[in-house]
Amino acid sequence: MEKYELIATTTFGIEAVVKRELVNLGFEVIKTENGKVTFLSDKTGIAKANLWLRSADRVLLKVGEFKAYTFDELFDNTNALPWHNYIPLDGKFTVNGKSVKSKLFSISDCQRIVKKSIVENLKKKHNVEWFSETGAAYTVLISILKDVATLTIDTSGVALHKRGYRIKTVEAPLKETLAATLVMLSFWNKDRILYDVFCGSGTIPIEAALIGRNIAPGLSRDFASKHWPLIGKEIWKQETKKAYLAIDYDVDLKIYASDISRKNLEAAMENAEEAGVDDCIVFANSDFRDVEYTNDYGVIVSNPPYGERLSDENQVKRLYRDMGKIFNKLDTWSKYFFTSFDTFEEVYNKKADRQRKLYNGRIEARYYQYLGPRPPLKDKDN
C-alpha cells in the first residue's frame, strides 16, 4: 500500500510526547521539529493516528514542499503537485495560510494564488471547467517558513482536542490534549492512585481514565478524512472496530477528583459520564485541605488556580503556601502542578525536581514535577 508523509502538529514543548505516542503506535517517525512531528504511513495509518493520538493537535497529509521567493514560483510549484490524487472532482476545498520570516508575507495573496493554482491543476486533470464542490471537505494549508513552502491537507477537520465529551465547561479549562500530556509526563500508570484536587471540569481525570482503560480519544467524534474517497469507509470501519476491541473494561482504576466548587464538580461528573468513564473516577466536593491522603505512592496531577482564575495575587500565594504545607509531607507521593505563576516554587516552599515550559492556549506556564520514589515491586506469588 502506498506510503504517505504525514505531520502531527503540536503545541510547543510537547513534540517529544507526540513522537513517543507515534512510535508506540507503530509509526515510522522521520523528523521532529518545533511544533510538528513528521511520520510515514499508509491510508490505514491516517485513520489510526486520528483515532489514537492524545497529545497532537492535528494530522496533516503532506502534498509537497518547495522554495518560493515569488508568487510565480508559488503558483507553478503548487500547480505541479498531484492534487488530483487527493481531491476528487466534487471535492469542496478551502485554503488557509501562514507565513513566517519569508519574502511572501501576504497571507491573503498566498491563499488566493494557491487556490487558483489548485483549481487550474484539477481542471486539467479532471478535464472540466467547473466544479460542483458538493462532496467531502478538504482544508489545504500553505505554510511558508524562511521561504520554504509546505502544502498539506488537514485530515482531522476539527482539532483533535475536541474529543466530544465536554458538554459542560468552566472558567479557564485545560485543552484535552494538554491534560493528556500532563498525565503522560507524570509517573502515573493504571496500577497507581491518581488525585486531581483542582479538577475543574474534570479534564485531567477523564484523560487519565481514557489512558488507563485504553480508550482511543477519537472514538466519539468525526474526522474530515472519514469522508474522503481516498481512504474509504472500510478502513475507518476496521480501525474503529480495532479501537473498540482494545478497550480494557476489566482494569481497576483508582482515580480521585475533587473541587471546592460544586458547579465545577457537577460539570466534571457530567463530562465523565459523556466520556464513558464515570465509573473509573471517584468525585468529591471538597477543599484540597480536607482531602485524606491516606495511601502511599500516590500521584497528584493538578492545574491549580492561578492568575487567570484568581485575580488577587495574595489569594494565589495563600493557596500555594497551603499546598506546600500539605503536599511536601507526602514523602512517597509524586506531585505535578501546572501553573503560570512565576514564583510558584518559592511560595510552595520547595524547588521542583524538574520543570517544563508548556502552553495553555497562548498562556505560557510551567509544569512543576516533584518526583517521589517508585512503589516497590509486587510479589508475583501474592
β partners of residue 93:
138
Q: Is residue 220 part of a domain?
A: no
pLDDT at 379: 53
Contacts of 138 (CB under 8 A, 6+ apart): 86, 87, 91, 92, 93, 94, 153, 154, 224, 228
Burial 170-192 (b: 16+ CB within 10 A, else e): bebbbbbbbbbbbbbbbbbebeb
Contacts of 376 (CB under 8 A, 6+ apart): none
Residues 19 and 128 in one domain: yes
Q: Is residue 169 part of a domain?
A: no
Q: Is residue 129 part of a domain?
A: yes
Contacts of 342 (CB under 8 A, 6+ apart): none
pLDDT in tens, the chain (382 residues): 789 999 999 999 999 999 999 999 999 999 999 999 999 999 999 999 999 999 999 999 999 999 999 999 999 999 999 999 999 999 999 999 999 999 999 999 999 999 999 999 999 988 888 888 889 999 999 999 999 999 999 999 999 999 999 998 877 689 999 999 999 999 999 999 999 999 999 999 999 999 999 999 999 999 999 999 999 999 999 999 999 999 999 999 999 999 999 999 999 999 999 999 999 999 999 999 999 998 899 999 999 988 555 557 888 999 999 999 999 999 999 999 999 999 999 999 999 999 999 998 888 999 999 999 988 887 544 4
pLDDT at 381: 47
The end-to-end CA distance of the chain, in Å, is 48
Residues 246 and 100 in one domain: no
Sheet holding 281-285, edge to edge: 281-285, 255-259, 194-196, 299-302, 334-339, 363-370, 354-360
Residues 147 and 209 in one domain: no
CA-atom Rg of the chain in angstroms:
23
Q: How far is CA 198 from CA 147, 270, 292, 334, in A?
A: 45, 16, 15, 16
Q: Would you tell me how many other CB atoms lie within 10 Å of the CB of residue 2?
A: 6
Residues 148 and 296 in one domain: no
Residues 107 and 235 in one domain: no
Q: Is residue 163 part of a domain?
A: no
pLDDT at 263: 94
CATH of the domain at 304: 3.40.50.150
Residues 207 and 333 in one domain: yes
Residues 189 and 138 in one domain: no
Report whether 207 contacts 176 (CB < 8 A). yes
Q: How far is CA 189 from CA 98, 145, 200, 253, 359, in A?
A: 39, 39, 22, 9, 24
CATH of the domain at 62: 3.30.2130.30
Looking up cell 495509518, which residue turns up?
45
Residues 144 and 44 in one domain: yes
**Which residue, 154, 188, 206, sits at the end of a domain?**
154
Residues 140 and 247 in one domain: no
Contacts of 378 (CB under 8 A, 6+ apart): none
pLDDT at 355: 96
Contacts of 362 (CB under 8 A, 6+ apart): none
Per-residue pLDDT of 272-301, as tens digits, reads 999 999 999 999 999 999 999 988 999 999
Burial 89-114 (b: 16+ CB within 10 A, else e): eebebebebebeebebeeeeebbebb
Residues 25 and 94 in one domain: yes
**Which residue, 154, 187, 206, sits at the end of a domain?**
154
Residues 201 and 336 in one domain: yes
Q: Is residue 167 part of a domain?
A: no
Split into its structural domains, the chain has a count of: 2
Q: Would you tell me how many other CB atoms lie within 10 Å of the CB of residue 345?
A: 18
Contacts of 294 (CB under 8 A, 6+ apart): none
β partners of residue 362:
none
Residue 135's domain comprises 4-154
Q: Is residue 376 part of a domain?
A: no
Residues 203 and 290 in one domain: yes
pTM: 0.94
Q: Is residue 311 part of a domain?
A: yes
- What is the residue type of 310? L
Q: Is residue 159 part of a domain?
A: no
d(CA 207, CA 291): 22
